[in-house]
C-alpha cells in the first residue's frame, strides 16, 4: 500500500500533519478503485524517497475522508496537491509523468 516514507493522512491527522507542517507536503488524493491512482503510486513512492527530509509525502483516501477532499475542491483523482503554510499552493490532476511531478515539487521544495 504505502511505502515506508509515505504517510497515510486522515481527517483526524490532517490539520497537524498537513496544514501544520513546517515543510511542504505532497498529498496524493486517491481511492482503491482508481486505476490511474494505482499507476501514479510507484512514482509518488519514488518521490517520497528522493525528497525525504525536504518534503513530507502522503496519501489521503477520498472514499474514507471525502470531507477533507471536498474542502479543497477535489473532483477528479488522482489529484496531487502541494500544501505550504496551511494552504494548497499547487496541484496536478490525473496521471502525469514523474518529470511533471518533479517540476511541480521543485517549485516549492
Kindly report, residue by residue over 49-87, the tens digit of the pLDDT.
999 999 999 999 999 999 999 999 999 999 999 999 999
Q: For the chain, give the percent of residues with pLDDT over 70.
A: 98
Catalytic residue list:
34, 37
Per-residue pLDDT band at 2 (split at 50, 70, 90)? low
- CA dist., res. 86 & res. 88, Å (int): 7
Q: Helices 98-108 and 35-50 meet at what angle, rounded to 10?
A: 50
Architecture label for domain 6-103: 3-Layer(aba) Sandwich (3.40)
The whole-model pTM stands at: 0.96
Q: Where are the domains of the chain?
A: 6-103
Q: Give, as one character, the DSSP assignment of residue 32.
A: T
Q: What is the pLDDT of residue 4?
A: 87
Amino acid at each position: 500500500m504505502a511505502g515506508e516514507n509515505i504517510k497515510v493522512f486522515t481527517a483526524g491527522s490532517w490539520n497537524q500533519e498537513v496544514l501544520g507542517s513546517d515543510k511542504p507536503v505532497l498529498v496524493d488524493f486517491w481511492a482503491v478503485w482508481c486505476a490511474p491512482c494505482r499507476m501514479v503510486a510507484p512514482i509518488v513512492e519514488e518521490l517520497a524517497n528522493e525528497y525525504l527530509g525536504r518534503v513530507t509525502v502522503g496519501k489521503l483516501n477520498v472514499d474514507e475522508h471525502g470531507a477533507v477532499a471536498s474542502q479543497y475542491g477535489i473532483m477528479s483523482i488522482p489529484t496531487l496537491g502541494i500544501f505550504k503554510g496551511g494552504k494548497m499552493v499547487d496541484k496536478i490532476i490525473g496521471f502525469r509523468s514523474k518529470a511533471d511531478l518533479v517540476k511541480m515539487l521543485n517549485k516549492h521544495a
